[in-house]
Amino acid sequence: MTRDHDAPEREAADDEQTRPARPDGGADADSAAGADDVALDPWGSSTIADYRKLFEEFGIGEFDDVLAEVPNPHYLMRRGVIFGHRDYEPVAEALREGEEAAVLSGFMPTGDPHIGHKLVFDEIIWHQEQGADAYGLIADLEAHSARGMSWEEIDEHARDYLLSLLALGFDPEEGELYRQSENRELQDLAFELGSKANFSEFQGIYGFDGETNVSHMQSVVTQMADILYPQLDEPKPTVIPVGPDQDPHVRFARDLAARMRFFGVTEAYASFELDDAERALVGAVYEKRDEYAEEPDRPRCEEAGAWLAELDDADLDELGVVVDDRVRESAVEKLDNGGMEPLRPRVRFLDLNATDEAFESLVEAIDGEKRRYDEHVDAFDLDPEAAGELAREVELDHGGYGFVPPSSIYHRFMTGLTGGKMSSSIPASHISLLDDPEEGYDKVKAATTGGRDTAEEQRELGGKADECPVYELYAYLLAGDDDEFAKEVYDECVGGERLCGGCKEQAAELMREFLEDHQEKREEVEALLEDLDISLTSSRRGVAPGDD
């Protein structure tokens, strides 16, 4: 990364980008894992050195893979600023088909809203425009318990977040805004979800320990409730647009959503249980029944087990499933124990949280052949999708939530104008949505660039737009929906036709215009805000914040 607080530009000693940035106002210690680890810590200071690792290590999907399924994709999607997702397909499908969907994100009111938050505001608003129910929340319980903010400070910042969200186009008549502390339904849901979560998970997921204050833990179940809140009326695909640091929360919420379900639906081949890997293997073995079954329409478990035990590596490869020795051994053992029981595909409904009546209703509602056990019921004439729908229907009829696992999309963190991570606590690193337009202009003019040492060099080699915070400003914000303009800046930069001085001047002017316009709109929506059903002064003022 190159820096050029003032021209002429000079190369910085090494690549700052992989260094940990300053904590974003957080009180947590640096993670011991080290700077280059991709530790996803919602309260930590992680910069993401290598986005690819998120795909490999955490199972986040590449957004590009779903882009084609998204109707009128937002420019942040088209430009790869939104780079990752978890299970976004159902949301994209709902938007395409005009079916129910929801979007929700939350903001910790710990400082001024800045242009990094604008990404999330835009994501919420875009989903709302595509027809999703939209929710924006103020995470005041989290700010108080995890960041030590007083209620007075929280109120001041909360107002600013809400004004910016409205000014950018959030429609409060169609959508809902709330603060965690004042939402009783949310608190009730948090309490219910808390009964499915335990302390060792908090330790494992968030590194909480004996020193962590209890309200901080409560703010976690509150966030879990936030994420599922749009589904309180009815289950629907819901997307949570956030930075990748929030992924642990998303994964945990997906887990809790599943744990709350009345029934688990899986596929099975016989009366005994299989784990996912065993199931895939036994499924493949079932497909080969012609090769070992005396009566091919009635393959026996023990026949399948014996055949599987004899396969060599080449045969196993041919099955087309990933098999390790442990999986194979355990599958063989289970099949052997099954003896003469026929191997038959079926869907299985496991009783997780169902009342007796709900279980009875489910059994009754299953069409075709079924077999009932103590804790589960097998259905032989249902496909898994129909089974999933049936399970949800019965759950809803009996007072359950029937949650759909929440989805997420992840945007890149903006680079700070001074290099490193954009941080609320370093004013020169970010542009606040409340910055005086002239100050915004000045900050852009003073920003680090991806430019070369001298103009000649720049003409010869081109600038490094990919490492330039100023180019990011164009791509993330200043070029707006105009892809051609963004591309022109990029091409001219890397082609050596664009020099940093003029480029920054243009960006600085656009930033000034943006801030003027945004702040004018903020004033216009003041009245709207006063009319909303959201409290702007906490009833808890005077209560001291938490401090871990």
Question: Which residues fall within 8 angstroms of residue 356, CB to CB, at 6 or more apart?
Answer: none
**Partner whose footprint covers residue 84, from ligand TRP, ligand SF4, none (CB < 5 to 8 Å by kind):** none
**Partner whose footprint covers residue 240, from ligand TRP, ligand SF4, none (CB < 5 to 8 Å by kind):** ligand TRP
Q: Which is nearer to ligand SF4, 429 or 519 (CB)?
A: 429
Q: How far is the CB of 349 from ligand TRP (least distance, A)?
A: 31
Q: Which is nearer to ligand SF4, 359 or 490 (CB)?
A: 490
Given the rule CB under 6 A, which of 174-182, 308-316, 358-366, 498-506 is the region that contacts ligand SF4? Answer: 498-506
Question: Considering the rule CB under 6 A, would residue 503 count as an interface residue with ligand SF4?
Answer: yes
* Residue 370 β-bridge partners: 379
Question: Considering the rule CB under 6 A, would residue 168 count as an interface residue with ligand SF4?
Answer: no
Look-up of token digits 């949570």: 240
DSSP-assigned letter for residue 401: -
**Partner whose footprint covers residue 465, from ligand SF4, ligand TRP, none (CB < 5 to 8 Å by kind):** ligand SF4
Q: Do 392 and 385 form a contact (C-beta atoms < 8 A)? A: no
Question: Considering the rule CB under 6 A, would residue 450 count as an interface residue with ligand SF4?
Answer: yes
| Backbone torsions φ then ψ of 90, nearest 5 degrees | -60, -30
Of 515, 438, 512, 511, residue with least CA distance to 469: 511
Sign of the dihedral defined by the CA atoms of residues 254, 259, 261, 264, in that order? positive
Question: Considering the rule CB under 6 A, would residue 1 count as an interface residue with ligand SF4?
Answer: no
Q: Which two tokens stand for residue 217?
A: 């833990």
Neighbours of 169 (CB within 10 A): 15
Q: Which is nearer to ligand TRP, 61 or 106 (CB)?
A: 106
Neighbours of 358 (CB within 10 A): 20
Q: How far is the CB of 500 from ligand SF4 (least distance, A)?
A: 3
CA distance 82 to 84: 6
CA distance 46 to 31: 8
Q: Which two tokens stand for residue 235?
A: 């289950």
Q: How far is the CB of 450 from ligand SF4 (least distance, A)?
A: 4
Question: Considering the rule CB under 6 A, would residue 451 count as an interface residue with ligand SF4?
Answer: yes
Instruction: Indicate which single residue of 189, 500, 525, 529 sits in contact with ligand SF4 (rule: CB under 6 A).
Output: 500
Q: Which is nearer to ligand TRP, 248 or 451 (CB)?
A: 248
Q: Could you give the C-alpha distances from 355 to 326, 348, 358, 388, 394, in angstroms and in order?
A: 36, 17, 5, 18, 11
Restricting to residues 467-496, which ones interact with ligand SF4 according to CB under 6 A?
468, 470-471, 493
Q: Do 486 and 477 form a contact (C-beta atoms < 8 A)? A: no
CA distance 166 to 538: 20
Q: How far is the CB of 504 from ligand SF4 (least distance, A)?
A: 5
CA distance 397 to 354: 11
Q: Which is nearer to ligand SF4, 123 or 467 (CB)?
A: 467
Phi-psi region of 420 (alpha: psi -120 to 50; beta: other; left: phi over 0): left
Q: How far is the CB of 458 from ligand SF4 (least distance, A)?
A: 7
Q: How far is the CB of 362 from ligand TRP (least distance, A)?
A: 32
Question: Considering the rule CB under 6 A, would residue 77 count as an interface residue with ligand SF4?
Answer: no
Q: Which helix (H) or strand (E) holds 102?
A: strand 102-107
**Partner whose footprint covers residue 108, from ligand TRP, ligand SF4, none (CB < 5 to 8 Å by kind):** ligand TRP
Of 435, 434, 430, residue with least CA distance to 415: 430
Q: Do 468 and 451 form a contact (C-beta atoms < 8 A)? A: yes
Q: Do 383 and 358 form a contact (C-beta atoms < 8 A)? A: no
Q: Could you give the C-alpha distances from 242 to 70, 175, 357, 379, in angstroms and in order?
A: 18, 18, 40, 39
Chain residues in the site for ligand TRP (CB under 6 A) = 42, 104-106, 108, 137, 139, 142, 223, 226-227, 240, 242, 246
Write the burial class of residue 429 (CB in 10 Å: 0-12 exposed, 13-18 middle, 19+ buried): buried
Q: How far is the CB of 72 from ligand SF4 (least distance, A)?
A: 27
CA distance 3 to 418: 8
Q: How far is the CB of 84 from ligand TRP (least distance, A)?
A: 15
Q: Which is nearer to ligand TRP, 239 or 335 (CB)?
A: 239
By beta carbon distance, the residue nearest ligand TRP is: 106
Q: Which is nearer to ligand SF4, 108 or 510 (CB)?
A: 510
Q: Which is nearer to ligand TRP, 137 or 382 (CB)?
A: 137
Q: How far is the CB of 159 from ligand TRP (least distance, A)?
A: 17
Strands (E), 405-473: 407-411
Find out whether the peptide bond into 469 is cis, omega within 30 degrees of 0: no
Q: Which is nearer to ligand TRP, 116 or 462 (CB)?
A: 116
Q: How far is the CB of 13 from ligand TRP (least distance, A)?
A: 32
Instruction: Indicate which single residue of 463, 534, 538, 546 sits in contact with ligand SF4 (rule: CB under 6 A).
Output: 463
Q: How far is the CB of 67 from ligand TRP (least distance, A)?
A: 22
Q: How far is the CB of 489 from ligand SF4 (least distance, A)?
A: 6
**Partner whose footprint covers residue 470, from ligand TRP, ligand SF4, none (CB < 5 to 8 Å by kind):** ligand SF4
Q: Which is nearer to ligand SF4, 394 or 465 (CB)?
A: 465
Given the rule CB under 6 A, which of 242-250, 318-326, 332-340, 463-471 is the region that contacts ligand SF4? Answer: 463-471
Q: Which is nearer to ligand TRP, 47 or 105 (CB)?
A: 105
Question: Which residues fall within 8 angstroms of residue 523, CB to CB, at 6 or more apart?
Answer: none
Interacting residues with ligand SF4 (CB under 6 A):
449-451, 463-465, 468, 470-471, 493, 498, 500, 503-504
